[in-house]
Protein backbone atom coordinates (compact mmCIF):
# COMPACT_ATOMS: atom_id res chain seq x y z
CA UNK A 1 0.00 0.00 0.00
CA UNK A 2 1.28 3.48 -0.89
CA UNK A 3 2.30 5.60 2.11
CA UNK A 4 0.02 8.41 3.26
CA UNK A 5 0.80 11.80 1.73
CA UNK A 6 2.76 14.16 3.96
CA UNK A 7 1.98 17.89 3.72
CA UNK A 8 3.95 20.86 5.01
CA UNK A 9 1.67 20.97 8.02
CA UNK A 10 -1.41 19.52 9.59
CA UNK A 11 -3.72 21.87 11.48
CA UNK A 12 -3.72 21.42 15.24
CA UNK A 13 -7.35 20.96 16.27
CA UNK A 14 -8.89 20.78 19.74
CA UNK A 15 -10.46 17.59 21.11
CA UNK A 16 -13.90 17.15 19.49
CA UNK A 17 -15.80 16.74 22.79
CA UNK A 18 -14.46 19.98 24.21
CA UNK A 19 -15.23 21.83 20.99
CA UNK A 20 -18.76 20.42 20.78
CA UNK A 21 -19.40 21.50 24.39
CA UNK A 22 -18.13 24.97 23.51
CA UNK A 23 -20.41 25.13 20.47
CA UNK A 24 -23.35 24.12 22.66
CA UNK A 25 -22.57 27.05 24.99
CA UNK A 26 -22.41 29.42 21.97
CA UNK A 27 -25.84 28.19 20.80
CA UNK A 28 -27.28 28.78 24.28
CA UNK A 29 -25.81 32.28 24.57
CA UNK A 30 -26.98 33.38 21.11
CA UNK A 31 -23.91 35.63 20.72
CA UNK A 32 -21.95 34.33 17.75
CA UNK A 33 -19.77 37.30 16.83
CA UNK A 34 -19.03 41.04 17.45
CA UNK A 35 -16.56 40.77 20.31
CA UNK A 36 -18.51 38.32 22.47
CA UNK A 37 -17.33 36.76 25.73
CA UNK A 38 -15.07 34.18 24.08
CA UNK A 39 -13.49 36.85 21.88
CA UNK A 40 -12.81 38.96 24.97
CA UNK A 41 -11.40 36.04 26.94
CA UNK A 42 -9.12 34.96 24.09
CA UNK A 43 -7.91 38.51 23.52
CA UNK A 44 -6.89 38.78 27.15
CA UNK A 45 -5.23 35.34 27.22
CA UNK A 46 -3.27 36.10 24.03
CA UNK A 47 -2.23 39.49 25.32
CA UNK A 48 -0.78 37.80 28.42
CA UNK A 49 0.95 35.25 26.20
CA UNK A 50 2.33 37.52 23.48
CA UNK A 51 2.92 40.81 25.31
CA UNK A 52 2.95 44.32 23.89
CA UNK A 53 1.37 47.34 25.59
CA UNK A 54 -1.99 46.57 23.98
CA UNK A 55 -3.29 43.62 21.99
CA UNK A 56 -6.19 43.53 19.54
CA UNK A 57 -7.62 40.19 18.38
CA UNK A 58 -8.48 40.09 14.66
CA UNK A 59 -10.06 37.71 12.14
CA UNK A 60 -6.83 36.91 10.29
CA UNK A 61 -3.18 37.89 9.99
CA UNK A 62 -3.75 40.00 6.90
CA UNK A 63 -6.29 42.20 8.71
CA UNK A 64 -3.85 42.50 11.60
CA UNK A 65 -1.15 43.68 9.16
CA UNK A 66 -3.53 46.16 7.54
CA UNK A 67 -4.39 47.46 10.98
CA UNK A 68 -0.70 47.69 11.93
CA UNK A 69 -0.06 50.08 9.07
CA UNK A 70 -3.44 51.86 9.23
CA UNK A 71 -3.09 52.89 12.89
CA UNK A 72 0.18 54.67 12.08
CA UNK A 73 -1.63 56.99 9.63
CA UNK A 74 1.18 57.01 7.09
CA UNK A 75 0.97 59.71 4.38
CA UNK A 76 -0.79 58.57 1.19
CA UNK A 77 1.66 57.54 -1.53
CA UNK A 78 4.62 57.32 0.86
CA UNK A 79 7.08 54.41 0.78
CA UNK A 80 7.26 51.43 3.11
CA UNK A 81 10.54 49.53 3.05
CA UNK A 82 10.03 45.79 3.31
CA UNK A 83 11.39 42.40 2.29
CA UNK A 84 10.48 40.59 -0.92
CA UNK A 85 11.15 37.26 0.81
CA UNK A 86 7.73 36.83 2.38
CA UNK A 87 4.16 35.75 1.80
CA UNK A 88 2.10 37.91 -0.58
CA UNK A 89 0.02 39.40 2.25
CA UNK A 90 2.92 41.44 3.66
CA UNK A 91 3.41 43.43 0.47
CA UNK A 92 -0.23 43.59 -0.63
CA UNK A 93 -1.35 45.35 2.55
CA UNK A 94 1.10 48.16 1.77
CA UNK A 95 -0.35 48.56 -1.71
CA UNK A 96 -3.97 48.22 -0.56
CA UNK A 97 -3.46 51.17 1.78
CA UNK A 98 -2.29 53.39 -1.10
CA UNK A 99 1.37 53.15 -0.05
CA UNK A 100 4.34 52.01 -2.12
CA UNK A 101 6.44 48.96 -1.24
CA UNK A 102 10.21 49.40 -1.62
CA UNK A 103 12.21 46.20 -1.39
CA UNK A 104 15.39 45.71 0.63
CA UNK A 105 17.65 42.67 0.61
CA UNK A 106 17.76 40.01 3.32
CA UNK A 107 20.36 38.66 5.70
CA UNK A 108 22.46 35.87 4.22
CA UNK A 109 21.98 33.46 7.14
CA UNK A 110 18.62 34.18 8.75
CA UNK A 111 16.76 35.48 5.67
CA UNK A 112 15.21 38.40 7.59
CA UNK A 113 15.40 41.97 6.25
CA UNK A 114 18.93 43.40 6.14
CA UNK A 115 19.10 46.63 8.21
CA UNK A 116 22.08 47.92 6.18
CA UNK A 117 20.16 47.65 2.94
CA UNK A 118 17.10 49.22 4.60
CA UNK A 119 19.32 52.19 5.55
CA UNK A 120 20.42 52.51 1.92
CA UNK A 121 16.80 52.55 0.73
CA UNK A 122 15.57 55.31 3.08
CA UNK A 123 14.65 58.57 1.31
CA UNK A 124 12.48 61.59 2.09
CA UNK A 125 9.53 59.55 0.76
CA UNK A 126 9.98 56.73 3.29
CA UNK A 127 7.28 56.61 5.97
CA UNK A 128 7.78 53.21 7.61
CA UNK A 129 9.91 50.06 7.89
CA UNK A 130 8.11 46.70 7.77
CA UNK A 131 10.23 43.68 8.72
CA UNK A 132 9.12 40.04 8.70
CA UNK A 133 10.21 37.55 11.36
CA UNK A 134 10.36 34.97 8.60
CA UNK A 135 9.97 31.32 9.71
CA UNK A 136 9.71 32.71 13.26
CA UNK A 137 13.35 33.87 13.22
CA UNK A 138 13.58 37.36 14.72
CA UNK A 139 14.72 40.22 12.53
CA UNK A 140 17.79 42.13 13.69
CA UNK A 141 15.52 44.13 15.97
CA UNK A 142 18.40 46.00 17.64
CA UNK A 143 19.76 47.42 14.37
CA UNK A 144 16.30 48.11 12.95
CA UNK A 145 15.23 49.79 16.19
CA UNK A 146 18.31 52.05 16.13
CA UNK A 147 17.75 52.94 12.49
CA UNK A 148 14.04 53.66 12.98
CA UNK A 149 14.63 55.94 15.94
CA UNK A 150 17.55 57.73 14.23
CA UNK A 151 15.41 58.38 11.13
CA UNK A 152 12.21 58.91 13.16
CA UNK A 153 10.38 56.20 11.25
CA UNK A 154 7.77 53.85 12.69
CA UNK A 155 8.77 50.20 12.78
CA UNK A 156 6.27 47.43 12.08
CA UNK A 157 6.83 43.68 12.23
CA UNK A 158 5.00 40.87 10.47
CA UNK A 159 5.12 38.09 13.05
CA UNK A 160 2.77 35.72 11.22
CA UNK A 161 5.33 32.94 11.84
CA UNK A 162 6.60 34.11 15.20
CA UNK A 163 4.03 33.03 17.79
CA UNK A 164 6.11 32.53 20.93
CA UNK A 165 9.45 33.66 19.51
CA UNK A 166 11.62 35.29 22.17
CA UNK A 167 14.95 37.07 22.04
CA UNK A 168 17.10 37.09 25.17
CA UNK A 169 13.94 36.36 27.13
CA UNK A 170 11.99 39.26 25.59
CA UNK A 171 8.82 38.46 23.69
CA UNK A 172 8.86 39.42 20.03
CA UNK A 173 5.88 41.80 20.32
CA UNK A 174 7.89 43.97 22.70
CA UNK A 175 9.93 45.26 19.74
CA UNK A 176 8.73 47.91 17.27
CA UNK A 177 5.58 50.01 17.23
CA UNK A 178 3.24 47.34 15.93
CA UNK A 179 3.46 43.57 15.41
CA UNK A 180 0.96 41.49 13.45
CA UNK A 181 0.38 37.79 14.19
CA UNK A 182 -1.47 35.13 12.17
CA UNK A 183 -3.48 32.37 13.84
CA UNK A 184 -4.28 30.62 10.55
CA UNK A 185 -4.86 26.86 10.40
CA UNK A 186 -1.34 26.35 9.01
CA UNK A 187 0.25 28.04 12.04
CA UNK A 188 1.52 26.27 15.14
CA UNK A 189 -1.08 28.15 17.18
CA UNK A 190 -4.35 28.58 15.28
CA UNK A 191 -8.00 29.61 15.54
CA UNK A 192 -8.60 28.09 12.04
CA UNK A 193 -8.63 31.71 10.85
CA UNK A 194 -7.44 34.45 13.19
CA UNK A 195 -4.85 37.11 13.80
CA UNK A 196 -3.75 39.69 16.32
CA UNK A 197 -2.11 43.08 16.55
CA UNK A 198 0.25 43.94 19.39
CA UNK A 199 1.17 47.61 19.72
CA UNK A 200 3.52 49.76 21.76
CA UNK A 201 2.65 53.44 21.88
CA UNK A 202 -0.02 55.80 23.14
CA UNK A 203 -3.38 55.54 21.41
CA UNK A 204 -2.41 52.64 19.14
CA UNK A 205 -4.50 50.03 21.00
CA UNK A 206 -7.64 52.17 20.73
CA UNK A 207 -6.87 52.89 17.07
CA UNK A 208 -6.51 49.14 16.43
CA UNK A 209 -9.83 48.38 18.15
CA UNK A 210 -11.53 51.14 16.14
CA UNK A 211 -10.04 49.78 12.90
CA UNK A 212 -11.36 46.29 13.71
CA UNK A 213 -14.94 47.55 14.03
CA UNK A 214 -15.40 49.96 11.08
CA UNK A 215 -14.15 52.83 13.27
CA UNK A 216 -17.34 52.55 15.32
CA UNK A 217 -16.89 53.57 18.98
CA UNK A 218 -20.57 53.43 19.93
CA UNK A 219 -23.98 53.70 18.31
CA UNK A 220 -23.54 57.40 17.63
CA UNK A 221 -19.81 57.80 17.06
CA UNK A 222 -17.60 56.64 14.17
CA UNK A 223 -14.07 57.73 14.99
CA UNK A 224 -12.07 56.69 11.91
CA UNK A 225 -11.95 54.58 8.77
CA UNK A 226 -12.04 50.88 9.57
CA UNK A 227 -13.15 47.45 8.42
CA UNK A 228 -14.68 44.27 9.79
CA UNK A 229 -11.76 42.61 11.53
CA UNK A 230 -13.66 40.77 14.27
CA UNK A 231 -13.19 37.10 15.11
CA UNK A 232 -16.31 34.95 15.46
CA UNK A 233 -17.13 33.19 18.73
CA UNK A 234 -16.63 29.82 17.01
CA UNK A 235 -13.10 30.73 16.01
CA UNK A 236 -12.42 32.18 19.45
CA UNK A 237 -13.61 28.91 21.00
CA UNK A 238 -11.15 26.95 18.86
CA UNK A 239 -8.43 29.43 19.81
CA UNK A 240 -9.13 29.10 23.54
CA UNK A 241 -8.99 25.31 23.39
CA UNK A 242 -5.87 25.29 21.23
CA UNK A 243 -3.95 27.37 23.78
CA UNK A 244 -3.73 24.23 25.90
CA UNK A 245 -2.06 22.29 23.07
CA UNK A 246 0.86 24.56 22.18
CA UNK A 247 3.43 23.30 24.65
CA UNK A 248 2.99 19.64 23.70
CA UNK A 249 2.98 20.52 19.98
CA UNK A 250 6.32 22.34 20.43
CA UNK A 251 7.75 19.37 22.30
CA UNK A 252 6.76 17.08 19.44
CA UNK A 253 8.11 19.47 16.81
CA UNK A 254 11.42 19.42 18.66
CA UNK A 255 11.58 15.65 18.06
CA UNK A 256 11.00 16.21 14.31
CA UNK A 257 13.57 19.02 14.30
CA UNK A 258 16.16 16.80 16.01
CA UNK A 259 15.70 14.09 13.37
CA UNK A 260 16.14 16.63 10.57
CA UNK A 261 19.28 18.08 12.16
CA UNK A 262 20.66 14.61 12.84
CA UNK A 263 20.06 13.30 9.33
CA UNK A 264 20.67 16.38 7.18
CA UNK A 265 23.60 18.19 8.87
CA UNK A 266 27.21 18.01 7.77
CA UNK A 267 26.73 17.87 3.98
CA UNK A 268 28.03 20.43 1.56
CA UNK A 269 24.97 20.38 -0.69
CA UNK A 270 22.42 21.34 1.95
CA UNK A 271 22.48 23.82 4.81
CA UNK A 272 20.31 24.17 7.87
CA UNK A 273 19.73 27.34 9.84
CA UNK A 274 21.36 27.48 13.27
CA UNK A 275 19.96 30.30 15.32
CA UNK A 276 22.17 32.52 17.45
CA UNK A 277 22.39 32.23 21.21
CA UNK A 278 19.48 33.95 22.95
CA UNK A 279 16.90 33.19 20.26
CA UNK A 280 14.05 30.86 21.03
CA UNK A 281 12.08 30.53 17.80
CA UNK A 282 8.42 29.63 17.40
CA UNK A 283 9.09 26.31 15.58
CA UNK A 284 6.75 27.36 12.79
CA UNK A 285 8.72 26.15 9.76
CA UNK A 286 11.78 24.02 9.05
CA UNK A 287 13.56 25.52 6.03
CA UNK A 288 16.61 23.88 4.47
CA UNK A 289 18.74 25.41 1.74
CA UNK A 290 19.65 23.17 -1.15
CA UNK A 291 22.48 24.76 -3.10
CA UNK A 292 21.72 23.15 -6.44
CA UNK A 293 18.80 21.01 -7.60
CA UNK A 294 16.25 22.40 -5.13
CA UNK A 295 13.50 22.14 -7.73
CA UNK A 296 14.46 18.59 -8.55
CA UNK A 297 14.27 17.65 -4.85
CA UNK A 298 10.88 19.38 -4.55
CA UNK A 299 9.51 17.37 -7.51
CA UNK A 300 11.06 14.07 -6.42
CA UNK A 301 9.65 14.45 -2.91
CA UNK A 302 6.25 15.10 -4.43
CA UNK A 303 6.48 11.88 -6.40
CA UNK A 304 6.88 9.99 -3.13
CA UNK A 305 3.89 11.79 -1.59
CA UNK A 306 5.87 14.40 0.37
CA UNK A 307 4.61 17.94 -0.25
CA UNK A 308 7.39 20.30 0.86
CA UNK A 309 6.94 24.00 -0.02
CA UNK A 310 9.17 26.63 -1.64
CA UNK A 311 8.34 29.36 0.87
CA UNK A 312 9.07 32.04 -0.44
CA UNK A 313 9.43 31.62 -4.15
CA UNK A 314 8.70 33.66 -6.20
CA UNK A 315 9.96 36.84 -4.54
CA UNK A 316 7.35 39.61 -4.25
CA UNK A 317 8.99 41.75 -6.95
CA UNK A 318 8.56 38.84 -9.35
CA UNK A 319 4.74 38.91 -9.01
CA UNK A 320 2.99 40.43 -12.02
CA UNK A 321 1.75 43.35 -9.91
CA UNK A 322 5.26 44.37 -8.69
CA UNK A 323 7.33 43.34 -11.69
CA UNK A 324 9.97 45.85 -12.74
CA UNK A 325 10.34 47.48 -9.30
CA UNK A 326 13.68 45.68 -8.75
CA UNK A 327 16.34 44.87 -11.34
CA UNK A 328 17.70 41.31 -11.61
CA UNK A 329 20.73 40.92 -9.34
CA UNK A 330 19.85 43.96 -7.21
CA UNK A 331 18.86 41.94 -4.12
CA UNK A 332 21.25 38.99 -4.39
CA UNK A 333 20.62 37.37 -1.01
CA UNK A 334 16.87 37.33 -1.54
CA UNK A 335 17.30 35.85 -5.00
CA UNK A 336 19.61 33.17 -3.65
CA UNK A 337 17.30 32.26 -0.79
CA UNK A 338 14.28 32.03 -3.10
CA UNK A 339 16.22 29.66 -5.37
CA UNK A 340 17.50 27.44 -2.54
CA UNK A 341 14.90 27.20 0.19
CA UNK A 342 12.68 24.23 0.74
CA UNK A 343 10.43 24.08 3.80
CA UNK A 344 10.11 20.51 4.97
CA UNK A 345 6.94 19.10 6.54
CA UNK A 346 6.97 20.24 10.14
CA UNK A 347 4.28 19.35 12.66
CA UNK A 348 4.13 17.27 15.81
CA UNK A 349 2.08 14.36 14.51
CA UNK A 350 4.71 13.72 11.82
CA UNK A 351 6.82 12.19 14.60
CA UNK A 352 10.32 10.77 14.36
CA UNK A 353 9.28 8.13 11.82
CA UNK A 354 7.63 10.66 9.48
CA UNK A 355 10.67 12.91 9.77
CA UNK A 356 12.93 9.93 8.95
CA UNK A 357 10.86 9.28 5.82
CA UNK A 358 11.14 12.92 4.73
CA UNK A 359 14.88 13.12 5.48
CA UNK A 360 15.52 9.85 3.60
CA UNK A 361 13.67 11.21 0.55
CA UNK A 362 15.69 14.44 0.63
CA UNK A 363 18.97 12.53 0.92
CA UNK A 364 18.01 10.13 -1.85
CA UNK A 365 17.24 13.05 -4.16
CA UNK A 366 20.51 14.83 -3.31
CA UNK A 367 22.58 11.67 -3.71
CA UNK A 368 20.82 10.95 -6.99
CA UNK A 369 21.64 14.44 -8.24
CA UNK A 370 25.32 13.93 -7.29
CA UNK A 371 25.52 10.64 -9.10
CA UNK A 372 24.00 12.03 -12.30
Nearer to ligand T4K, 175 or 311 (CB): 311
Residue 325 beta carbon to ligand T4K: minimum distance, rounded to whole angstroms: 19
Residue 188 beta carbon to ligand T4K: minimum distance, rounded to whole angstroms: 12
Residue 367 beta carbon to ligand T4K: minimum distance, rounded to whole angstroms: 26
Residue 371 beta carbon to ligand T4K: minimum distance, rounded to whole angstroms: 30
Q: Which residue is nearest to ligand T4K (CB)?
A: 61
Distance CA 122, CA 363 (A): 43
Nearer to ligand T4K, 256 or 368 (CB): 256
Nearer to ligand T4K, 61 or 176 (CB): 61
Distance CA 359, CA 346 (A): 12
- The residues that touch ligand T4K, with contacts defined as CB under 6 A, are 7-11, 60-62, 65, 86-87, 89-90, 132, 158, 160-161, 182, 184-186, 195, 307, 311
Residue 74 CA, distance from chain mean position: 23
Show Cβ contacts of residue 316 under 8 Å, excluding neighbours closer than 6 positions: 83, 84, 85, 86, 88, 90, 91, 101, 103, 322
Residue 223 beta carbon to ligand T4K: minimum distance, rounded to whole angstroms: 25
Nearer to ligand T4K, 24 or 349 (CB): 349
Nearer to ligand T4K, 31 or 95 (CB): 95
Nearer to ligand T4K, 10 or 250 (CB): 10
Residue 59 beta carbon to ligand T4K: minimum distance, rounded to whole angstroms: 9
- How would you label 77-100 residue by residue, b for 16+ Cβ within 10 Å and e otherwise? eebbbbbbbbbebbbbbbeebebe
CA proximity to 106, closest of 93, 115, 95 = 115
Give start and end residues of each alpha helix (H) in 197-350: 204-212, 233-243, 246-264, 294-303, 332-340
E strand or H helix at 289, and its extent?
strand 286-290
> Residue 168 region, left (φ>0) first, then alpha (ψ -120 to 50), else beta?
left
Nearer to ligand T4K, 9 or 126 (CB): 9
Residue 57 beta carbon to ligand T4K: minimum distance, rounded to whole angstroms: 12
Amino acid sequence: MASEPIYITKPLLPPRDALFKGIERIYRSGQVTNAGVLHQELEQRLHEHLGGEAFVLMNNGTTALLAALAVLKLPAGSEVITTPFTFAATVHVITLLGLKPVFADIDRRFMTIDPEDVARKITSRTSCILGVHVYGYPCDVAALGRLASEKRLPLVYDAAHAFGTTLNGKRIAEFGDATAFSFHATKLYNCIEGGGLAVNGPGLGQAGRDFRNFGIRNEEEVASVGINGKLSELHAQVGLLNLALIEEERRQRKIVQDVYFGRLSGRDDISLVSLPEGVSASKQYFPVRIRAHRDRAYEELKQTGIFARKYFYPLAFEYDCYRGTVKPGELPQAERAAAEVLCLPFYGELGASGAERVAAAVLSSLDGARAR
